[in-house]
């Protein structure tokens, strides 16, 4: 067995972050209210996937903290007659700052779909 280091074949590009992620991210700008313990914090989504969300905030969140939030997904963009509300629970996995904005990346551990009329459509755990 050779002890030479493994090398990428010539001409192969290194993987980018999109290739390393397990889920496709969609650039959605939705206003949400994050809840963590007794604290509530207004945020805006920057991108959303089935397994995570990137939030833009005015103040930092601590990595590792549990969060709850609901997203109101526009039905017309999803091909649904009504808007869809998704109730989510997750945890912050990474925080950063760019200029004067704070960002928090969070996993979605559980989510529940609900039609605007209040009919529960589905519940899932990630």
Q: Contact at 8 Å (CB) between 65 and 36?
A: yes
pLDDT tens for 50-105 read 899 999 999 989 999 999 999 998 888 778 888 889 999 999 999 999 988 999 99
Q: What pTM value is reported for the model?
A: 0.72
Q: Is the pLDDT of residue 43 over 80?
A: yes
Residue 12 pLDDT grade (very low, low, confident, very high; cuts 50, 70, 90):
very low
Q: Which one, of 50, 55, 54, 121, lies nearest residue 84 by Cα?
A: 121
State the DSSP code for 26: B
Q: Which two tokens stand for residue 20?
A: 């390393």
Q: Which one, of 13, 19, 10, 98, lies nearest residue 54 by Cα?
A: 98
Q: What domains lie within the chain, and their CATH numbers?
A: 24-117 (2.40.10.220)
Provide, rounded to the nearest whole percent, the portion of the chain with pLDDT above 70: 73
């Amino acid at each position: 067995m050779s002890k030479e280091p493994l090398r990428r074949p010539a001409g192969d590009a290194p993987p980018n972050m999109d290739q390393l992620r397990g889920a496709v991210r969609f650039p959605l700008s939705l206003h949400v209210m994050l809840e963590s313990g007794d604290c509530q914090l207004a945020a805006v989504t920057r991108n959303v996937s089935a397994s995570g969300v990137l939030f833009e905030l005015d103040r930092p969140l601590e990595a590792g903290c549990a969060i709850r939030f609901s997203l109101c997904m526009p039905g017309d963009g999803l091909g649904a007659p009504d808007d869809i509300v998704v109730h989510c629970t997750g945890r912050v996995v990474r925080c950063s700052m760019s200029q004067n904005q704070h960002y928090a990346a969070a996993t979605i551990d559980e989510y529940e779909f609900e039609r605007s009329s209040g009919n529960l459509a589905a519940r899932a755990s990630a």
